[in-house]
Amino acid sequence: MSSTLNVKLTVGDAPLAYGLPAKGRIRVAFGTGSSDEAAFQHFTDEAGTVSIELLPAGFYRIHPLAEGYQADPVDVEMPHDEQIVIAMTKLPAPGESGFLGTAHYQHDLLHYFVDDKNQPWQMRGYTAHLLPARVLQGRDIRPFIREAQSYGANTLITIGTHLSPWKTDHGFRFDPRTQQAKDALVTMFDVGAEMGMRFAHGVAADMQYGLTDAEKRRIWDEQCELADGRWNLLWRCGNETRVNGWDPSLFPQKNLHGVLQSAGSTGENTIPIQQYRDFSEWQSRRSPWHKVLDDSGAGIFEQNNGYNGGGQQVGPFPCPIVMIEGIYFADTDPDHVGDARETDPQKALMVGLQIGASCAGGGVGCSRGLEGDPNGPVAAECARQQFRGMQAAFLR
């Protein structure tokens, strides 16, 4: 005696269809056999269903399978006339998860981040300042996130205010006072969490273009509301305060329920913001080459310890220090907008090694990535090599 076994795989109320959103299949084993011992394997159709005809009478175990989903096996005795519906559960995305904390070696020799299991965590940031504008344009940023992850990034470095004439003229305007911009930030953060990607998000830039102090504070308050309680954020006041029309004194530190915060960055080869928060941001020089490496190394120890800089006491900064922005890479020098760029993967590797040894993390900058676009082959290799160096030297 034989009959037809009908199975339907679902995710909630939706079918787990062939390619929509995952490739569903079942394996059927005799008795209580494992998936590897299955005698039959069949893929679902676009309605999430599959049928196996002329199945002999007896006991079977159904093993539902789909990449990124899971469900317990189901036992059935054939013949069985009713359709068997199996609800699949989406697995957590590979990559990042959980809130971060901070730690340090005994005697404050070196400060670093820790993950939610209290293990050392390195910020491997990929600079994507203009990515919020891409989301506002309606672009699917998942391919961009996958590209950054393929290089070794676990964090995207973004900015939430873009009002300069250049950005306006080139389609990158992002006015955070609009509801559409706020919705774009929520989408960006949500997609990142779905894909296991963090954001080191700076609220402020381009604030010298007609914003009052009251408007600046409102932008800070509103974006902080969006950040509250999000595990995948490192929260920054803003980018390069000395040239972008904002000051951290306008932005009081708020309780964001687990989100680590910094006071932001000051600019290339300048003293970091003294009133650090949970971590500090510092930008090395971009030239000359020998000073890029020197400042990316010993300079961190000086900042942790504190030093006298031209008659001014700098630090100490007893917190994780992130080299947030350094040399930029592109496929050509100059790049597509005429900016000077590096094109040597060996230099990228050397910078990465220095950052990994001395810092709590750092940023990799590429001209195309800055705009939320894919790299060409040269810049892509530079990004891979800097991340490779950062990971190789990060021993805690």
Using one digit for the tens of pLDDT, what is the confidence trace for 84-99? 999 888 776 678 999 9
Which domain-ending residue is among 90, 119, 135?
90
Rounded Cα gap, residues 392 and 49, in angstroms? 47
Position of tokens 């008795």?
A: 31
Q: Where is mean pLDDT largest: 104-113, 115-124, 301-310?
A: 115-124
Q: Which residue has the higher pLDDT, 299 or 22?
A: 299
Mean pLDDT of 157-179: 98
273 with 205, same domain: the answer is yes
Q: How many domains does the chain have?
A: 2
Residue 202 phi, psi (nearest 5): -95, 125
7 with 150, same domain: the answer is no
* pLDDT value of position 310: 74
296 with 354, same domain: the answer is yes
In a domain, 70, yes or no: yes
Which domain-ending residue is among 24, 55, 90?
90
Rounded Cα gap, residues 357 and 144, in angstroms? 28
In a domain, 66, yes or no: yes
Host H or E run for residue 241: none
Write the CATH number for 271: 3.20.20.80
Position of tokens 């290799």?
A: 381
Mean pLDDT of 49-54: 89
Residue 337 phi, psi (nearest 5): -115, 10
Task: Please report which confidence band the pLDDT of residue 20 belongs to, taking 50, 70 and 90 as the band edges.
Answer: very low
Domain extent, residue 109, equals 101-393
In a domain, 178, yes or no: yes
State whether residue 169 is helix, strand or coil. Answer: helix
Write the CATH number for 17: 2.60.40.1120
Length of the chain: 396
In a domain, 96, yes or no: no
Rounded Cα gap, residues 42 and 29, in angstroms? 12
In a domain, 95, yes or no: no
